[in-house]
Each structure stands twice: as C-alpha cells, then as structure tokens.
Amino acid sequence: MAVNLHIPDKKDIHPVKGVEIGISSAGIRTEGHRDITVFRLAPNSAVAGVFTTNRFRAAPVQVCEQHLHKEQDIRALVINTGNANAGTGEPGLADARQTCTELAKLMDLRPSQVLPFSTGVILEPLPMPKLLGALPKAVHDLQDDQWYEAAHSIMTTDTQPKIYSTQLDLDGHECNITGISKGAGMIRPNMATMLGFLCTDIGINPKLLAEMTRDIANHSFNRISVDGDTSTNDSFILVATGQSERYIDSVASPYYAQVYKALKEAALDLAQKIVRDGEGASKFITIQVEQAKDATEALKIAHAIAHSPLVKTAFYASDPNLGRILCAIGYAGIDDLEVNKIKLWLGDVLVATDGGRHPDYIEADGKRVMQSSEITVRVALDRGKHSETVYTCDMSHDYVSINADYRS
C-alpha cells in the first residue's frame, strides 16, 4: 500500500559505531509481538531531541525532556509500542520513570541516563509487569546489526518499516548515519505520532547537535502531514556517538556542511517515508509555495492545501478538481492575499492565473498529472521571495477503515 517507499537491502544498512539495539516481546497489545526496543549508546554520546507541541504531552515525552535537561551522558533509549502512555496523568509519569529505573538497573546506569518512548493507544495505563518483564531479554540481545529489526518493532499502523542508512567519507574516514522512524496517522507539522531515531558515529558538540536537531526537524518531520492531527508522543532524537575518528565542534568545522546536509537528507527521507506509508495513502504529494512574503504565510498556505480533506479525496480519485486547491489557498488565513496574482501548477501544467482557470488549461492535462503516484502542486503568490515545501498524501477509503478499526 505504501507509495514508492524504498526499503534498503539489509546489506546496505550500516551499523553505527557506539549504537547497539536489543528487541523483545512484552505482548503489550498483541501476544508475541516484538514491541520493546532498547538502544544502548556508547559513553559520552551527544544526544538531542525535539518533542510534540501538544499540551497533552505523553508521560515519556515529559520524562525525556527532564532527563535531557539534567543529564549530560544519555546512555539508553527504550521504546514500547501498543500503548502511548498518554492521557495517563501522574500514574503514567510514574510508569515512565519506573521503566527508566528498571532498565538502568539492568544496564548499570542512572535512571536519568535512559530516555523512554511510547506509541500506541492513548488513555490506557501501561501494562507495567509485561513491559518490565521484557526488558532483560532486550538488554541481553543488544547487538549492532539490529536496525532492520528495530524499524519493524517500533511500527504501529505502519505497513512498512522505515529505515535509512548512508556512509560519508570524511577525509578518508568512513562514517555512518543510520536511522529509523515510525508513524502513519496523527501526522501533522510540529510532529506526529511519529518517532524518529537518527544516529551517527561522527562526534558532534552537544550544543551544536541540539541546534542542528531543531533545525533538521523543522525541515523534515515538521513538514509532513497525513491527517492534520498532532500527536501527544512525537519525538525525534539525534545521536552522535563520537566513535568514529571525526568530530565537529562548531559550524566552522571543515565537515560541518557535509554532515549537516547528510543528516538533513536522512531525516527528510525518514519523514517522507511516514507520508509514503500514510494511512490509506495511494499518492505522495509535494506542495511547494513560492514567492511568499515569509515562511509563515508560505507554510499557512501549504498546510491549508495539505490538510484539506476535499483536496486529498480529489487526489485519491485522480480528479483534477483544482478549484478545491484554490479554495484551500483562499481560506488559509492570509487576509491581504490578492488571488488574481496567484499562479497554480499541477505538475508541469499551469492551471490557474488571474483568479481563474488558465486559458490554455485542458482537463486532460490535469487528469494526466493526477494519475501519477507522485504529484507536485506548485503555488506562486507574487508577494516575495520565500519558498516552503510540505509533503502529504491523498485520503482514501482505507484511511477511514484503518482509523475506524484501529483498536478492534
């Protein structure tokens, strides 16, 4: 079902020096499902994260933020699927903390050196005995070649694992970048029911890494939308273990630009894979808004298009019902927008100018573009020089089926 989602061969997934992964089954939601994933990180890894803006931040998100704030040496991540530990109040916080404490005991760490992550159903208590019972096996099985299995074990409504891996040659030293992500619904800018873990063995100054993480998230995971719902649990973590022989101390480092670009590409790939596997998706849609006054208005318009159920169902039907796109532009909330100056392209086809249909536009051209599984919508506003791009998918019957049946 996923749209052109590339899953690399196992042989092309490069272990990251200083990262080991162990997986086990707690049966939180389904008996026998491998739903617990533990990362062990080498000492003195730099770790940074960005988290959901939802006011109902899940308990693990709150604990992550606390631990990242007080701890210089994060050494482990623990992820469960099947239950989000969100909307669980004080008992949920205690459960997230206990998870860290128990894992820390097994790994000879302080609890604050562990970051917890949960994804799944909201408003139900974590089944702690099951979860804690599964931790020893995950720790016992820690290995450096479990990325592919981890991409599977963090899935919820995902139909495909999401994994990206590359190598960089930094002056003769081969360094590794590998990451995984999950999420298919409840996806909207400012994160999603989305987890992303991206690791490199390049060393990066922790303060610089924190800045890079915010910036990279803003241009990847915060540029995607499936259904406009911002989840309680969204987390993106960037780890730099420093176990290779290359270190980046500042933006002036000779490797900075190359590494930044590679990490951003990795995050964008992992984010786009979430859209490609969007619940019920049959098409991958890129929305480019150009000639805006600033990023805010470009993003308002891009998101209005990306969130419109009417636009998304028209894409599903391969119906060039492009008035729905103009309509979404019109209600995006730009009060002084002059609609007669807007140009709208569907793929390479100029559709609208002067507040209406372009004279040369014919339906057959629109139809041709709409039948592709990869579609670009381009809007030029004639107001300035700013451009922004967001990524979304169509809305199909399967979106409804998946979300109507999720808990059953």
Cα torsion through 192, 179, 100, 50, rounded to 10: -40
Q: Which of 213, 313, 329 is nearest to 263 (CA)?
A: 213
Distance of CA 226 to the CA centre of its chain: 11
DSSP 143: B
Q: Which of 273, 276, 283, 357 binds its own copies (CB under 8 A)?
A: 357
Q: Which of 340, 371, 372, 373 binds its own copies (CB under 8 A)?
A: 340
Euclidean distance between CA atoms 221 and 200, whole angstroms? 18
Which one is catalytic: 81, 99, 193, 392?
193
Q: Which of 102, 124, 158, 201 binds its own copies (CB under 8 A)?
A: 124
> Smallest distance from the beta carbon of 246 to its own copies, in angstroms?
39
Residue 22 interacting with its own copies (CB under 8 A): no
Cα-based distances in Å from 348 to 314, 316, 323, 374: 18, 19, 17, 12
Residue 90 interacting with its own copies (CB under 8 A): yes
Residue 217 interacting with its own copies (CB under 8 A): no
Segment interacting with its own copies (CB under 8 A) among 80-88, 196-204, 283-291, 372-380 = 80-88
> Smallest distance from the beta carbon of 297 to its own copies, in angstroms?
12
171: left (phi over 0), alpha (psi -120 to 50) or beta: left
Residue 298 interacting with its own copies (CB under 8 A): no
Give the angle 18-197-68 at the CA atoms, nearest 5°: 80
Euclidean distance between CA atoms 369 and 372, whole angstroms? 6
Residue 327 interacting with its own copies (CB under 8 A): yes
Euclidean distance between CA atoms 303 and 137, whole angstroms? 43
Euclidean distance between CA atoms 153 and 6, whole angstroms? 18
CB 330 within 8 A of CB 343: no
> Smallest distance from the beta carbon of 339 to its own copies, in angstroms?
5
Euclidean distance between CA atoms 68 and 50, whole angstroms? 10
Residue (230 or 235) nearer to its own copies, CB: 230
Q: Which neighbouring-strand residues pair with 283?
A: none
166 an active-site residue? no
Q: Which of 71, 141, 229, 365 binds its own copies (CB under 8 A)?
A: 229
> Smallest distance from the beta carbon of 201 to its own copies, in angstroms?
36
Site for its own copies in 174-213 (CB under 8 A): 185-186, 188, 190
Residue 334 interacting with its own copies (CB under 8 A): yes
Site for its own copies in 27-66 (CB under 8 A): 53-57
Contact positions vs its own copies (CB under 8 A): 53-57, 84, 86-92, 121-125, 185-186, 188, 190, 227-232, 307-310, 313-314, 316-317, 319, 321-324, 326-332, 334-335, 337, 339-340, 352, 354-357, 395-397, 399-401, 403-408
- Catalytic residue numbers, as ranges: 193
